[in-house]
Amino acid sequence: MRNLISNPSIKFMGYRRIAAMVSATLMVLALLIIIIRGLNFGVDFTGGYTIEVGYQDSADLNLVRSALADAELPDASVQAFGTSRDVLIRMAPKEDIDGALLSQEVIEVLNQASDTPVEMRRVEFVGPQVGEELREKGGIAVLTALFFIIVYIWFRFEKKFSFGSVLALVHDVLITVGIFALLQIEFDLTVLAAILAVIGYSLNDTIVVFDRIRENFRTMRRGTPEEVIDTSVNQTLSRTVITSLTTLIVLFSLYIFGGAIISGFALTLIIGVIIGTYSSIFIASALALYLGISKEDLMPVEKEGADLEEIP
């Protein structure tokens, strides 16, 4: 299993210009989509009420929306939650009513519109100020992670590698968030946590490739930097593919069978793992090559006088 791909000799760096154009196009499109469409922030970031109710039979979402609209609650967002009998209702905060009264009003309206009793499962409230604070701190968390990654790669490898790794991570995060904006999938705290997990996963994959590049620069006496990087990526390709495939199997299982609570988290990681695997090969390594990485950059620094013979 370790040698899933036997002795590959793919010229990855020969495709780096095509990959760069594709990635640049995707990043620009993702940025434009985020600016134009915006993100569909969940209650965690916007503030408001989350009310989960359960029906004995399959719920008619259109009937639920109509009943809430007739009760002068037209801004409610209604969606299936897990099974067809579970319904999640999101509502903006209201100044003239507290959560207990609002949830009681909602359950009464739904019971009147349903032939069977409706069960209240949970009620959560996030204030607008708390939601805004969470949004700001979430952005700061992502930027802080990227900063410390730059520092870590700089000291462990070389500054040219650090620029490549950070650009690859920005590439992964931007495209992932752009897909969420395009599809208007709800962006909440679980998705933000998944974004940070994507950064960690992609960085781990990139470091494995960088470590082999550094080793080969020191041991391969012949070969251009492009050939050394191609050899290194091919040597780690089997490990990369196996790791990504096994991770995706678990993530698809979570997405399909895990229910609505974890679907956003799993979907974010699915997108991130696929894009992160691509970027660790074509973005991080290619940028290091573009910046002129060479054997001299990665050779250990010799101490002064180390080459002098000891005189007894």
Residue 282 CA to residue 103 CA, distance in Å, equals 51
Sign of the CA dihedral running 162, 163, 166, 172: negative
Domain boundaries, the chain: 12-41+130-298, 48-126
Q: Tokens for 175?
A: 């495209």
Q: What pTM, to 2 d.p., does this model score?
A: 0.76
Give, for all 312 residues of the chain, the pLDDT tens digit.
Answer: 455 566 667 888 888 889 889 999 999 999 999 999 888 887 777 777 788 888 888 888 888 888 888 877 756 778 777 677 888 888 776 666 666 677 788 888 888 888 888 888 888 776 656 566 777 777 787 778 777 877 777 777 667 777 777 888 889 989 999 999 998 888 888 888 888 888 888 888 888 888 888 888 878 777 788 888 888 888 888 888 888 899 999 999 988 887 767 888 899 999 999 998 888 888 888 888 887 776 665 665 554 444 444 444
Residue 67 CA to residue 110 CA, distance in Å, equals 7
Q: How far is CA 221 from CA 227, 228, 232, 290, in A?
A: 12, 10, 14, 21
Q: With contact defined as beta carbons under 8 Å apart, do 190 and 262 qualify?
A: yes
Fold of 48-126: Alpha-Beta Plaits (3.30.70)
Q: How far is CA 119 from CA 55, 194, 212, in A?
A: 6, 31, 57
Q: With contact defined as beta carbons under 8 Å apart, do 278 and 244 qualify?
A: no
Torsion of CA 157, 162, 166, 171, to 10 degrees: -90
Question: Of 284, 258, 264, 275, which Cα lies nearest the Cα of 198?
Answer: 275
Domain 12-41+130-298 class in CATH: mainly alpha
